[in-house]
Amino acid sequence: MRHGLPPARPGLAVTLVTLGLLAGACTTPPTLPTPPPPGPVQHVIHISVDGLHSDAVPTLGRADAPNFFRLREQGAFTDNARTDPKLANTLPDHASELTSRGVFGDAGHGLIINDDLGPPATLRLIKGSYVPGVFDVVHDAGFSTGFFASKTKFALLERSWNPVHGARDRTGVNNGRDKVDVTVIDGNMAAVVAAFVTEMARSRFTYAFVHLREPDSTGHRADWSLANGSDYLQSVIAVDGLLGDILDLVETDPALAGRTAVILTSDHSGELGTNFHLLLPDVDFIESGIISFYVWGPGIPAGADLYALNPSTRSDPGRSIPGYNAPLQPVRNGDAANVALDLLGLPAVPGSTINAAQDLATSN
């Protein structure tokens, strides 16, 4: 068990004494190295492929997408997961991936706009109250985190959890307000992955988020198209090559091999034959909300269907777009934060509503 004493800070100590939390605690800060996370998995790499259509990888097949297929054939997945049921857009759905909340309503994270208005904009400012994410839980438990994104507007999310705007750590040892240890934001996704591989080899983050932009950027420029040789499919092949770089690191570094899980999903898809993504079920613009969700790593059964692993808690939605009030939810991109924490043996994101019970099983 971890000791719960913060560094000597008189004001904070007085507060804790008032709350009775120091009863029985020793009087010197712990000096032992941080023990590993309690779960079967020691590291989680959460990859979000921006604008990935869930039919793109099956269309390419193993020959053209060998690394996506490594994840599919060695792990559990579905090509019929869902975004937020009302909004399939980049920053809103990435906020869902990182907080396990929907977008709208009292329980939502509240990030509706798909832009960073710049400092001092944060999730807290937008929602009116602090919005914790996966970084909070991992960091506050004493573990390391990394944030690697390939669109500059992701600065809004990272800023929300930085040393100025992050919440006080009230879990065990005080690890401070900065929930993200290493941040790389660069518009070139290959440069982002190169930086990630270098930093992961050095720091071996407990949790790292990696965002790959190119399928979305290509879809907006040249249409979401599954035609043989399309620019869109070429962009997915480019992502596959970068996945190979990440998986090669995981499998060749003895400190990561057999201890690392990969979660791969997408913020949204796109409407085939168009250059946009838009979720309007009434007029049958639904493809934007249909995405894939993969989980790969130790203990995760090879080639398993996530719906088959979760017959009592999740339901394959067919071609529908279920709301959050559906009794059996689809697998969602918003499951990602709480799945990552579950694999690490850490509790759900405080205030989260998607997979808050951490009941999306990734093993038998």
Using left for φ > 0, alpha for ψ between -120 and 50, and beta otherwise, residue 318 falls in left
50-69 positions binding Zn ion, by CB under 5 A: 50-51
> Which residue reads 């690697």 in tokens?
148
Q: Binding string, 157-176, against Zn ion, x = CB under 5 A?
A: --------------------
Q: How far is the CB of 229 from Zn ion (least distance, A)?
A: 23
The one segment of 35-43, 87-95, 165-173, 257-265 that binds Zn ion by CB under 5 A: 87-95
How many helices (H) and strands (E) the chain has is answered by 12, 7
Q: How far is the CB of 187 from Zn ion (least distance, A)?
A: 14
* Residues contacting residue 140 through CB under 8 Å, at least 6 positions apart: 169, 170, 171, 172, 175, 179
Q: Which is nearer to Zn ion, 41 or 88 (CB)?
A: 88
Q: How many residues bind Zn ion (CB under 5 A)?
A: 5
Q: How far is the CB of 51 from Zn ion (least distance, A)?
A: 5
Q: How far is the CB of 209 from Zn ion (least distance, A)?
A: 14
Q: Which is nearer to Zn ion, 51 or 75 (CB)?
A: 51
For Zn ion, the binding residue among 214, 267, 271, 287 (CB under 5 A) is 267
Residue 127, both tokens: 């929602």
Q: How far is the CB of 110 from Zn ion (least distance, A)?
A: 18
Q: Which is nearer to Zn ion, 51 or 110 (CB)?
A: 51
Q: How far is the CB of 103 from Zn ion (least distance, A)?
A: 14
Q: Which is nearer to Zn ion, 169 or 267 (CB)?
A: 267
Q: How far is the CB of 135 from Zn ion (least distance, A)?
A: 20
> Which residue reads 């490594």 in tokens?
70
The one segment of 61-69, 85-93, 228-236, 310-318 that binds Zn ion by CB under 5 A: 85-93
Q: Which is nearer to Zn ion, 123 or 344 (CB)?
A: 123
> Which residue reads 């006080």 in tokens?
168
What's the DSSP call for residue 224? B
Query: Strand (E) positions, 275-347?
Result: 290-296
β pairing state of 290-296 and 76-82: antiparallel
350 upstream amide cis, omega within 30 of 0? no
DSSP labels, 311-324:
TTTB---TT----T
DSSP lists the bridge partners of residue 183 as 147
CB 335 within 8 A of CB 354: yes
* CA 270 – CA 88 distance, rounded (Å): 9
Q: Binding string, 284-313, against Zn ion, x = CB under 5 A?
A: ------------------------------
Q: How far is the CB of 263 from Zn ion (least distance, A)?
A: 17
Q: Per CB under 5 A, does 136 bind Zn ion?
A: no
Q: Which is nearer to Zn ion, 139 or 211 (CB)?
A: 211
Nearest residue to Zn ion, using CB? 90
* CA 78 – CA 21 distance, rounded (Å): 44
Q: How far is the CB of 241 from Zn ion (least distance, A)?
A: 20
For Zn ion, the binding residue among 97, 140, 169, 216 (CB under 5 A) is 216
* Amino acid identity at 183: T
CA 142 to chain centre: 19
1-60 positions binding Zn ion, by CB under 5 A: 50-51
Phi, psi of 100 (to 5 degrees): 55, 45
Q: Which is nearer to Zn ion, 51 or 102 (CB)?
A: 51
Q: Binding string, 88-107, against Zn ion, x = CB under 5 A?
A: --x-----------------
DSSP lists the bridge partners of residue 290 as 82
> Which residue reads 């065990």 in tokens?
172
Q: How far is the CB of 162 from Zn ion (least distance, A)?
A: 22
Residue 185, both tokens: 């934001």
- Give residues in contact with Zn ion (CB under 5 A): 50-51, 90, 216, 267
